[in-house]
Amino acid sequence: MILAGDVGGTKCNLALFSEKGDKLTPVFKQRFRSKDFAQFDLIAKEFARQAADHLAGEKIVAAGFGIAGPVINNRVRATTCLGRLTPLFFPRN
């Protein structure tokens, strides 16, 4: 399973995709209003809660996000209200 997201100041779109061969198929997607969350990890946790039934026992093996802002020392200083993001907010397992 692959997690993809578009993180912006107005909204945050997150989606799960299953991978079969060379094809990605959307499994679950959700849109969040950024102003309803103080930090991105709170959005990620809410998405994980909502998406749990759609994982069907599979694990997320990869994730990618589009985020407006510069990357400095492996951290994104988001130009949105969501503050600083680091790749460490997702556990490796």
- Alpha-carbon distance 53 to 63, whole Å? 18
Question: Whole-prediction pTM value?
Answer: 0.79
How confident is the model over 29-41, as a mean pLDDT?
Answer: 88
- Alpha-carbon distance 91 to 19, whole Å? 21
- Alpha-carbon distance 84 to 77, whole Å? 5
- Alpha-carbon distance 62 to 36, whole Å? 26
Beta-strand pair 62-67/23-33: unpaired
What six digits make up the tokens of 92?
């490796």
pLDDT in tens, 39-78: 888 888 999 999 999 988 888 999 888 887 777 777 776 6
Mean pLDDT over all residues of the chain?
A: 82
Is residue 38 very low, low, confident or very high in pLDDT (cuts 50, 70, 90)? confident
